[in-house]
A and B are shown apart, each in its own frame.
Chain A
């Protein structure tokens, strides 16, 4: 029981991190990025490649900064070539565009790296390290992922609330026209928000490489989980996404612990549908919602 809760908490932290990036992008430019999970997959491959080149043998966490930079540039490129053209053009445009991007990224990854399941060549000492805690075990990579995700999410929250750029970002999310009128360069804010969303996905990817296999479809499950989390927390609601991530982590770990893995996925999708039906503004009632 305690073990199940611990597992859920650990993975839930990472879900929060992915979802915070996603919900922030939605808050600022009203776009739900269906390719968020595939950005995570790009982050995983980036980690894999950099690890082989720069720091074979070390813990992969030292690569956080280079991966973040790469992912920011990647996000910038994606934004400049595609996303900015569909901002404010209605839902169906960005849905089709980002789903197309997701499919494109998955298959480009397959094209470059092949369909094989790869894993990081870290020593088993790290991979299978665990801390025992009164009959229960916490795997160290999962604990690190949880801790790092938590720190990043808190930093993000601080950034949005206490810095000028963060306030400008929130103003843009509230009303773009008025924000522009008040002298906020909303174009820069868009780029920054999308870049940060991509960085969060990429860092989640990095944190997950010691735990999961890396393959072209590795990000796909996280896309749907992140979607559930942001709906649960209310679209655009950062704190909602944090709590939502933990809840979904717990749901997944309970159902997979007591029923099976297949039904855990069903449970997550059911949570999503139930929230959409009965709590359309998310659990915390602050989400931005048109209908």
Chain B
């Protein structure tokens, strides 16, 4: 009898999170337009990717631009195995994860020894190498033409093919929740504290006995695995991938902006960021697609990145935290009868 009440108590501590989850679960019952559901699916996928990036990029402040490398590993593994051998994505996800782990160690072990800007430069290069290799080995990867799923109809959960958007809505949403949960757990464990120590001062952390390289590598691998799985789901949702969409530097920026705009190093920040970024892009694509030469939506991504770094380095979520603090202090004031100011 003890457990449900403690769970309930825990839930009441996070009323916004619980309300958000319930609302999202109920949304497909209300919304029937496929387009809106697709936007939400995109939001969830970007929230998932931003959250995965946030583990190393936010908590550890190691700005990696290699996320598309892992994303495209997951996407290409799932798509190629499916189109060539009919393998179910539920199986190939694990193969993609295995490859992503190997790749994460291969990239991470040497590059994570580098500090600051050198790590960023190295990861940009890694993404670009992977992209060029996909272009170069066209017989295997389809090169610039990419890979697309064969047209099919009917619902098939094993093959992840659905006629409506609703199943993918729930897959994307639940996957995002899983990643958020993993991040929440990480932030409460030693790994999370070590990463924060690395963010504040890597040398100091090291001198206090934190094995910084190993901690960064673990975070990098976790983030790579999550990105790879997201890549597999995302590619089956879209049904088509090519190097310029899944292995591009653009994608690295968009993933990072999601987390930066929302709030680096916070649990719900990237989710909030995705809820701002993706609709912003959709709205500007809709209204501004004929404005100038196009690209207005992406220009806003760049602008958002610049503005957040300059004026709100802790992200949009810090606005809410400020409000919450004010609210709490007012509550505390009331409880003490307004004596303490």
> Chain A: residues with CB nearer than 8 A to chain B?
32, 82, 85-86, 90-97, 99-108, 110-116, 216, 220, 224, 227-228, 231, 260, 262-263, 265-266, 269-270, 272-273, 276-277, 280, 289-291
Contacts and interface: CB of A to CB of B under 8 A. Distances in A.
A266 B128 CA distance: 7
B125 A82 contact: no
Contact of B292 (A112, A116, A266): A112
Contacts of A115: 293-295
B204 interface: no
Interface stretch (B1-9, B300-308, B318-326): B300-308
Contacts of B304: 100
B129 A266 contact: yes
A265 B132 contact: yes
Contacts of B157: none
A250 B133 CA distance: 21
B110 A277 contact: yes
B305 A103 contact: yes
Interface of B: 61, 63, 65, 110-111, 114-118, 120-122, 124-126, 128-129, 132-133, 135-136, 249-250, 253, 256-257, 260, 291-296, 298-299, 301-306, 309-310, 313
Contacts of A90: 116
Contacts of B249: 220
B302 A105 contact: yes
Contacts of A273: 110-111, 122, 125-126
Grouping DSSP codes into helix (H, G, I), strand (E, B) and loop, the A interface class, with mixed when no group exceeds half, is helix
B296 A101 contact: no
A272 B121 CA distance: 9
A97 B308 CA distance: 9
Most buried by A among B116, B303, B309: B309
B302 A107 contact: yes
20 contacts: A97-B305, A97-B306, A99-B256, A100-B305, A101-B302, A103-B299, A104-B299, A110-B293, A111-B293, A114-B294, A116-B293, A216-B295, A224-B128, A227-B121, A262-B136, A266-B136, A269-B126, A269-B128, A272-B125, A276-B110
A94 B65 CA distance: 14
A112 B128 CA distance: 27
Grouping DSSP codes into helix (H, G, I), strand (E, B) and loop, the B interface class, with mixed when no group exceeds half, is helix
A104 B302 contact: yes
Given A96-B260, A231-B118, A112 B293 contact: yes
Contacts of B121: 32, 227, 231, 272, 276
B128 A265 contact: yes
B306 A101 contact: yes
A82 B295 contact: no
Given A93-B313, A96-B256, 15 more contacts: A82-B306, A91-B117, A97-B305, A97-B309, A103-B253, A110-B299, A111-B296, A262-B132, A266-B132, A269-B126, A269-B129, A269-B132, A273-B125, A273-B126, A290-B115
A273 B293 CA distance: 36
B306 A104 contact: yes
Contacts of B295: 106-108, 110-111, 115, 216
Contacts of B294: 110-111, 114-115
Contacts of B116: 90-92, 95, 290-291
Contacts of B120: 91, 95
Given A101-B306, A260-B136, A269 B117 contact: no
